[in-house]
Structure 1
Amino acid sequence: MRTPPEKSLRSRALDALSRREHSRTELARKLAAHTDNPDELHALLDDLQARGWLSDARYTEQIVHARQARYGSRKIAFELREQGVDASLISASVAGLKDTELERARAVWEKKFGQAPTTEQEKAKQIRFLQSRGFGWEVIVRVIAGHANC
């Protein structure tokens, strides 16, 4: 049985980009294992950006859109930083999320818990949950205070 021919670096990059948006750093990490020449990788990434096939701005927009219903702005900003997105893109994207943070936190809380905490333990559990979802303390306090019975 014949083994399939080795895919080129370019075809691997296009395969990844055809599935979903990637940040430049994320795509570089994925492709680095398939080349010994970092200059070739950087040249390919530059070419993909020049053609408009690789865009950190589009990636940021896609991540924000996909995550905003379930996560707070802090968690989204952290994920974007982890993927190597420029800080100016992150701050511009997250600034728009701050306006709806309270409503989104209430919706996430309502879906998960649906009823006010009756004990301090339940209240702490709900606070930890919202913190893990990336919502800020001020927002968490307002959400829990609006529903607290303890």
Structure 2
Amino acid sequence: MIKIIRTNSEHPDFIKLVKELDAYLKVMDGDEHDFYNQFNNIDVLKNVVVIYADEVAVGCGAIKKFDETSVELKRMFVATEKRGLGIAQKILTELEVWAKELGFKSCILETGKRQVEAVGFYHKCDYKIISNYGQYKKMENSICFEKTF
């Protein structure tokens, strides 16, 4: 049984999943982890989704306002043992619906080129590569995407 809830970054299951995500990214990002990690503060996230499979939190994601028309996708994660089951798609869809409800027209995000599964996932979900934005402009490992609703 799959259940999705909308919450904020104070939710204990979100905090637990983010700790798992950070441990995963520390390995993937290597020497660049500290740089990326400084932009992943979760205390400012008002729009968080947590997904449950059989009452266990197995994935999460968040959006935050980027500008007047765009939100930035943050903290997307699915527990390793639950990947490949369509959970990430459910999280992303819920976040996109929420962004539209809030009046936004597009969603942007940054991921690392080393996160091959994530890059493939965003391509599959109709996200288009854009120029690296903000703090990611000079980061060679970063790849940025956008989807217009």
Q: TM-score range by the shorter chain?
A: under 0.3
Bigger CA radius of gyration:
1
| Higher share of residues assigned helix | 1
TM superposition score normalised by structure 1: 0.27
